[in-house]
């Protein structure tokens, strides 16, 4: 199974690099307002992201270490922090829940 995950991420990386090499030609864009009003499948997307994080991080080791984590929510991973903590049994406290839209973390 590990080989399949590597191939998928390699494909994603290659495809992203193709778009970059072409100056993002072919990337479909919509206005921010239209994106906000578009139908969403966030439950499925968030669930998949939470499960896929274990492909990058050893979540069993992190959970098994029984450490306490204090995090500041950012614009990037912020909305996923509580669901990740719940899924992997982490002792996580989000210190600041305010989302900073200028954050690139």
Q: What is the pLDDT of residues 10-50, one digit of tens each?
A: 888 888 899 999 998 988 888 888 887 887 665 667 777 78
Q: How many domains is the chain built from?
A: 2
Closest CA to 44 of 90, 92, 83: 83
The answer to whether the predicted template modeling score (pTM) of the entire model surpasses 0.75 is no
Could you list the beta-strand ranges (E) of the chain: 68-72, 91-96
Identify whether residues 67 and 34 lie together within a single domain: no
Q: What is the pLDDT of residues 42-92, one digit of tens each?
A: 566 777 778 888 888 888 898 899 988 887 766 556 667 788 888 899 998
pLDDT value for 1 = 47
Identify whether residues 11 and 54 lie together within a single domain: no
Task: Read off the tokens for 61.
Answer: 């080791």
Identify whether residues 69 and 33 lie together within a single domain: no
Task: Read off the tokens for 90.
Answer: 């982490």
From CA 6, how far away is CA 94, in angstroms rounded?
Answer: 32
Identify whether residues 60 and 27 lie together within a single domain: no
Identify whether residues 67 and 101 lie together within a single domain: yes
Q: Domain span at residue 51?
A: 41-105
């Amino acid at each position: 199974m590990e080989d399949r995950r590597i191939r998928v991420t390699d494909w994603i990386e290659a495809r992203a690099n193709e778009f970059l090499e072409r100056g993002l030609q072919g990337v479909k864009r919509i206005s921010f307002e239209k994106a906000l009003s578009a139908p969403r499948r966030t439950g499925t997307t968030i669930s998949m992201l939470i499960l896929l994080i274990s492909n990058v991080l050893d979540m069993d080791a992190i959970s098994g270490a029984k450490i306490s984590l204090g995090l500041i929510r950012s614009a990037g991973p912020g909305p996923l922090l509580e669901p990740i903590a719940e899924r992997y049994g982490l002792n996580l406290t989000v210190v600041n829940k305010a989302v900073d839209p200028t954050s690139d973390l």
